[in-house]
Amino acid sequence: MCENRHSSVAALDPQMRDIFFSEVAHVLLSIETMLQQPTCDWQLRSVFRVTHNMTGAAQLLDVSEVWLPTHALETLLVAMLASDRQPTQKEQVLLQQGYDLVRCSFDAWRANELVPPPQSYKDRVEKYIDSLKSMDTAKQAHCDTEMNQSGQQEESQ
């Protein structure tokens, strides 16, 4: 039910628009701060929360130009939080690209200009998450093999 609808800035109620703009400014600042120190776990959680909030606000206002890239960035942050380790260089690059896309998309939408399509970034995030899953599966298979081998050794002793 994620319909791809659009709301222009001009169509928004001024009070609603101000609330949304304020939220976006807060989120962009949070991400900028985190990008300067991406290894801090609490910042990652905090940025995930504000990004999630921004997605929700943009969805309520039907601003798909903003919520689609923000949601893609949120998906990356969920995967990073689940990995429970320091962000890799690849993740930092994807974070920076996500931030750039969200900022460009918001600025373009606000100026009523052509908004960059989020699909390419979304594909990169999904591909990266798939690679994490493959690594987890390979790691699990390796652990299972080691456990089986150690079990067999114990039995033979």
Q: Which of 31, 54, 72, 95 binds other proteins (CB under 8 A)?
A: 54
Rule CB under 8 A: say whether 22 interacts with other proteins: yes
CB of 93 to other proteins, least distance (A): 27
Closest CA to 67 of 50, 48, 54: 54
Q: Which of 60, 81, 111, 135 binds other proteins (CB under 8 A)?
A: 60
Q: Which of 34, 57, 102, 115 binds other proteins (CB under 8 A)?
A: 57
With CB under 8 A as the rule, give the number of residues binding other proteins: 22
Per-residue DSSP letters for 36-87? HSTT-HHHHHHHHHHHHHHHHHHHHTT-HHHHHHHHHHHHHHHHHHHHTSPP
Rule CB under 8 A: say whether 106 interacts with other proteins: no
Q: How many CB atoms lie within 10 A of CB 68?
A: 23
